[in-house]
């Protein structure tokens, strides 16, 4: 009896051990190692490392490119929450509405299709759309009589970051919409019927029935979107060739990559990685506290 | 109990069979050696050329298999840095010369080629000797040149004739006059560069710095240990570049160099700054316009030698940690043989550093002229991003890109360049 008790207490540990080992080796160990590297100055070419303490962190505080990158990441996060999460929820609610029952599946597929495409392909595609001379967008503006709105979308510091963010919204809104669709489909139909009997309008039904029931998934979608916004890499890397013109559309992840593998400052790149990690964790915890979720 | 024993026995037998089979397959794979070859030319016509040459090498050397990987230009610069610091370093790979090659050599993982060159004097003499220098540091040669290059201003002949331009400009002021004439002839964008590529900006800057700033100042500033970049000539040189940008129109910062070259090939652009290595693309398109070219003009009041040509060789390097150094050497010698170099000229249409490989029968008139220009120029100016520390070069490239898009001033750029140089100097003093 005694041995059986001991066996049962070990069992959960044994079952979780592979996961703990994998997480330890591939997540936590590199994280600790990364912090260790951030205290050094070293080149990817050289095995020698020079201990500089917190000098990389001091450098980071004074670095104007970090400020630009952080502002761009915040822009990414705010717009992504507004469009991907809020608009994604509205889109899902509309597609699940009774009046859209017939065309709903078609539009679900249409909106979800971009998610299935590789982000590199999407960026190349939008590179053609934004092309300053032969691009579809500028030609369209010409045709509809708005030539004064034509501009080099990716070549101007005023528009490059917004044009890049727009691509991400086009690519990812369908994914968040799909998460909301699944959540909305789980809401009992009777609640909507009861609301309808009480004479509630569609917007009221959305407010009093849909919103409270998708609170959990709203939290999950917000966390995914906000943390994703602080790690966005491919879009600025491909569309604006690493955050150009200058550093106007650079993000933290692109700056990290360039610092490490283009400017050969591996220690500084590790410091940037630590900052991205801390920001992501703080935001995730903050969101968890604000939403008071995580029970489901 | 019997069942458990049988399971254990079965597992042991399986493990034994696996180990034996592994040993056998290892022995079998020992017969054919696999070399990793990494280069930066995934585009045609070089892509096909390397495929053909590698296939030919494998046919002639059945004991060697080549695993070839390639990525383009800027991605290559980043990926080779990652690979060289990893345990997955390619056996043979391409490299730019000067500081790029020096950085790779500093890793201690690039093979010294002195022994090979000493053992094979005929092979050593098969290269244009001046092109070995940019791969040689402290008397050790780390790379062998494959291509030679130069950057020149190319122009659409018929557009020039229509604009009544009869003479190539010899000074920067004459160049501006030419651009003005093209503009008044109806060409809204008389010259264009793909400023979305920071390296394309660096090519202009490298040339303008050389033309305007005294050579001793450049030598001091390009040195990591002494670079300050406080000479007023940098400001003037960037102002000259901005004068050219003024003719490029608002689209320049969103176009890539390749897109601009395609506009030139399509006959939609009067002038651009082009490498000899790109002449092959123009030549390959039968509908491309007839063109002429000239070296970047001198600047009145400039201190540099106006006859120097911007451009540097690219070559092949070998890994110090390669498990198959002898096979890698055979492969490199094959790629750099006169026969294959001549084939490269014929198929790719770009000049090479192998003596006697560019001939009238495998070349075309402008390539012959280009080769002559390289031979007759009094020297070469390395690409800016290879001439100085990459952090300083990056501050120049990104900064001037921002000036071109109207988001920074030249003074702000120079401040960030000087800050980067201070950092590089401090690190150099600690080495």
Taking only the tens place, the pLDDT of each residue in B349-394 is 999 999 999 999 999 999 999 988 988 888 889 999 889 999 999 9
pLDDT of residue A286: 87
Provide long-range contacts, Cβ within 8 A and 24+ apart, for B29-34: B31/B63, B32/B62, B32/B63, B32/B64, B32/B65, B33/B63, B33/B64, B33/B65, B33/B324, B33/B327, B34/B64, B34/B65, B34/B66, B34/B67
Domain range annotation of chain A: 64-252+279-291
Q: Taking the complete model, does pTM exceed 0.90, yes or no? A: no
Cβ contact, residue pair B254, A248, below 8 Å? no
| Higher per-residue confidence, B99 vs B331 | B331
Q: Would you call A244 and B407 a contact, using CB atoms and an 8 Å cutoff?
A: no
B268 to chain A: nearest residue by CA? A133
Q: What is the distance between the terminal CA atoms of chain A, rounded to a whole angstrom?
A: 36
Using CA atoms, how far residue B407 sits from A158, B31, B413, in Å, is 9, 60, 10
Q: Which tokens sit at A137?
A: 């967008």
Q: Does A127 touch chain B (CB under 8 A)?
A: no
Tell me the shortest Cα–Cα distance from B135 to chain A, in angstroms.
Answer: 17
Contact list in B for residue A45 (CB cut-off 8 A) is 81, 84-85, 103-104, 106-107
Q: What is the pLDDT of residue B72?
A: 87
3-state secondary structure of B33: strand
Hey, of A56, A244, A259, which one would you mutate to test binding to chain B, going by the most B CBs within 10 A of its CB? A244
Report the chain A residue with the minimal C-alpha distance to residue B398. Answer: A246
Banded pLDDT at B8 (limits 50, 70, 90): very low
Q: How far is CA B403 from CA A259, B270, B408, in A?
A: 22, 24, 5
Q: Is residue A2 pLDDT above 90, yes or no? A: no
Radius of gyration of chain B (CA): 25
Res A183: pLDDT: 95
CA count, 13 A, side-chain hemisphere, B165: 26
CATH topology of domain B31-147+312-378: D-Maltodextrin-Binding Protein; domain 2 (3.40.190)
The predicted-structure confidence for B278-302, as pLDDT tens digits, reads as follows 999 999 999 999 999 999 999 999 9
On whether any CB of chain B is under 8 Å from the CB of A234, the answer is no
Contacts A264 to B, Cβ<8 Å? 81, 103, 390-391
Task: Tell me the fold of A64-252+279-291.
Answer: MetI-like fold (1.10.3720)
CB contact under 8 A, B254 and A263: no
CATH topology identical between B31-147+312-378 and B151-310+389-430: yes
DSSP A72-108: HHHHHHHHHIIIIIIIHHHHHHHHTSGGGTTTHHHHH
B29: number of Cβ within 10 Å: 11
Quote the CA–CA distance of A59 and A43 in Å, as a whole number. Answer: 17
Which chain B residues contact residue A132 at CB under 8 A?
250-251, 254-255
User: What does the pLDDT look like over A200-241, one tens digit per residue?
Assistant: 899 999 999 999 999 999 999 999 999 999 999 999 999 999
- In chain B, residues with a C-beta closer than 8 Å to the C-beta of A41 are 427
pLDDT digits (tens, 9 = 90+) for B183-224: 999 999 999 999 999 999 999 999 999 999 999 999 999 999
> Contact B394/A263, CB-based, under 8 Å?
yes
- Which pLDDT does position A126 carry in this prediction? 97
Contacts of B81 in chain A (CB under 8 A): 44-45, 261-262, 264
Q: What number of other Cβ atoms are within 10 A of residue A17's Cβ?
A: 11
Of A160, A162, A208, A214, whose CA–CA distance to A183 is shortest?
A: A214
**Residues above pLDDT 90, as percent of chain A:** 81
Region A10-37 average pLDDT: 94
Local confidence band at A45 (pLDDT 50, 70, 90 cut-offs): confident
pLDDT at position A288 is 81
Can you tell me whether residue B153 is helix, strand or coil? strand
The whole-number pLDDT of residue A290 equals: 81
**For the segment B90-100, what is each residue's pLDDT rounded down to a tens digit?**
999 999 998 88
Tell me the C-alpha distance between B355 and B125, whole Å: 8
CA–CA gap between residue A32 and residue A271 (Å, rounded): 12
Minimum distance, in Å, between the CA of residue A272 and any CA atom of chain B:
17
User: Is pLDDT at B47 greater than 70 in this prediction?
Assistant: yes
Asked if residue A287 has pLDDT above 90, the reply is: no
Mean pLDDT taken over chain B:
91
Task: Output the average pLDDT for chain A.
Answer: 92
CATH fold for domain B151-310+389-430: D-Maltodextrin-Binding Protein; domain 2 (3.40.190)
Give residue B2's pLDDT: 47
CA angle, B343 as apex, B337 and B349 as ends, to 5°?
125
- Least confident range from A259-273, B10-24, B303-317, B388-402: namely B10-24
Smallest CA-to-CA distance from B102 within B391, B407, B389 is with B389
Q: Cβ B401–A46 below 8 Å, yes or no?
A: no
Chain-chain contact of A265 with B391 (C-beta, under 8 angstroms): yes
Distance in angstroms (rounded) separating the CA atoms of residues B399 and B387: 17
Averaged pLDDT, B139-157: 96
In chain B, where the domains are located: 31-147+312-378, 151-310+389-430
A113-171 pLDDT tens trace: 999 999 999 999 999 999 999 899 999 999 999 999 999 999 999 999 999 999 999 99
Residue with structure tokens 């809401």?
A187
Q: What pLDDT does residue B16 have? A: 45
């Amino acid at each position: 009896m005694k041995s059986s008790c001991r066996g049962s207490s070990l069992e959960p540990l044994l079952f979780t051990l592979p996961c703990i080992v994998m997480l330890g080796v591939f997540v936590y160990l590199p994280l600790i190692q990364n912090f260790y590297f951030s205290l050094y100055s070293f080149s990817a070419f050289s095995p020698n490392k020079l201990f500089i303490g917190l000098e990389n962190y001091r450098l980071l505080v004074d670095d104007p490119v970090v400020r630009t990158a952080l502002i761009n990441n915040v822009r990414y996060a705010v717009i992504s929450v507004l469009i991907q999460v809020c608009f994604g929820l509205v889109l899902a609610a509309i597609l699940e509405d009774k009046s859209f029952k017939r065309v709903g599946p078609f539009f679900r597929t249409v909106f979800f299709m971009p998610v299935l495409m590789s982000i590199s392909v999407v960026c190349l595609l939008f590179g053609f759309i934004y092309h300053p001379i032969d691009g579809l967008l500028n030609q369209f503006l010409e045709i509809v009589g708005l030539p004064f709105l034509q501009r080099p979308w990716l070549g101007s510091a005023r528009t490059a970051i917004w044009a890049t963010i727009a691509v991400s919204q086009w690519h990812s809104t369908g994914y968040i919409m799909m998460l909301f669709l699944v959540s909305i489909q789980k809401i009992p139909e009777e609640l909507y019927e009861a609301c309808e009997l009480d004479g509630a309008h569609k917007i009221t039904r959305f407010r009093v029935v849909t919103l409270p029931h998708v609170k959990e998934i709203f939290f999950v979608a917000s966390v995914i979107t906000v943390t994703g916004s602080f790690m966005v890499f491919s879009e600025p890397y491909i569309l604006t060739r690493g955050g150009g013109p200058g550093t106007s559309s650079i993000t933290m992840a692109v700056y990290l990559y360039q610092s490490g593998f283009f400017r050969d400052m591996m220690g500084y790149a590790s410091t940037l990685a630590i900052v991205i990690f801390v920001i992501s964790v703080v935001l995730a915890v903050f969101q968890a506290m604000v939403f008071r979720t995580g029970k489901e | 109990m019997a069942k458990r024993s049988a399971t254990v026995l079965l597992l042991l037998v399986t493990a034994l069979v696996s180990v034996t089979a592994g040993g056998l397959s290892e022995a079998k794979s020992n017969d054919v050696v696999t070399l990793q070859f990494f280069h930066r030319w995934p585009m045609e016509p070089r892509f096909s050329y390397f495929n053909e040459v590698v296939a030919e090498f494998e046919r002639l050397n059945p004991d060697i298999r080549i695993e070839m990987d390639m990525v383009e230009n800027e991605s290559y610069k980043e990926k080779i840095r990652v690979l060289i610091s990893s345990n997955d370093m390619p056996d043979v790979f391409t490299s730019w010369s000067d500081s790029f090659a020096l950085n790779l050599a500093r890793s201690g993982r690039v093979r010294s080629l002195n022994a090979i060159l000493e053992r094979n004097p005929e092979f050593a003499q098969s290269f244009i000797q001046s092109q070995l220098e940019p791969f040689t540091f402290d008397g050790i040669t780390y790379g062998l040149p494959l291509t030679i290059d130069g950057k020149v201003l190319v122009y659409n002949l018929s557009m020039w004739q229509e604009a009544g331009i009869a003479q190539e400009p010899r000074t920067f002021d004459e160049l501006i006059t030419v651009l003005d004439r093209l503009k008044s002839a109806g060409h809204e964008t008389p010259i264009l560069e793909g400023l979305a590529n920071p390296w394309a900006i660096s090519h202009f800057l490298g040339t303008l710095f050389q033309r305007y700033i005294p050579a001793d100042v450049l030598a001091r500033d390009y040195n990591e240990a002494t670079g300050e970049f406080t000479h007023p000539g940098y400001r003037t040189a960037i102002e000259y570049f901005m004068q050219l940008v003024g003719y490029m129109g608002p689209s320049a910062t969103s176009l890539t160099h390749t897109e601009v070259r395609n506009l030139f090939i399509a006959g939609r652009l009067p002038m651009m700054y082009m490498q000899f290595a790109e002449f092959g693309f123009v030549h390959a398109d039968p509908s491309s316009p007839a063109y002429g070219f000239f070296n970047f003009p001198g600047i009145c009041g400039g201190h540099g030698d106006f006859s120097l040509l911007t451009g540097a060789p690219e070559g092949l390097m070998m890994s110090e940690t390669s498990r198959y150094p002898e096979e890698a050497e055979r492969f490199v010698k094959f790629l750099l043989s006169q026969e294959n170099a001549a084939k490269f000229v014929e198929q790719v249409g770009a000049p090479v550093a192998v003596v006697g490989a560019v001939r009238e029968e495998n070349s075309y008139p402008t390539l012959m002229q280009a080769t002559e220009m390289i031979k007759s120029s009094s020297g070469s100016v390395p690409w800016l991003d290879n001439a100085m520390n990459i952090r300083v070069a990056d501050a120049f490239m990104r900064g001037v890109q921002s000036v071109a898009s109207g988001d920074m001033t030249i003074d702000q750029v120079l401040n960030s360049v000087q800050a980067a140089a201070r950092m590089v100097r401090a690190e150099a003093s600690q080495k």
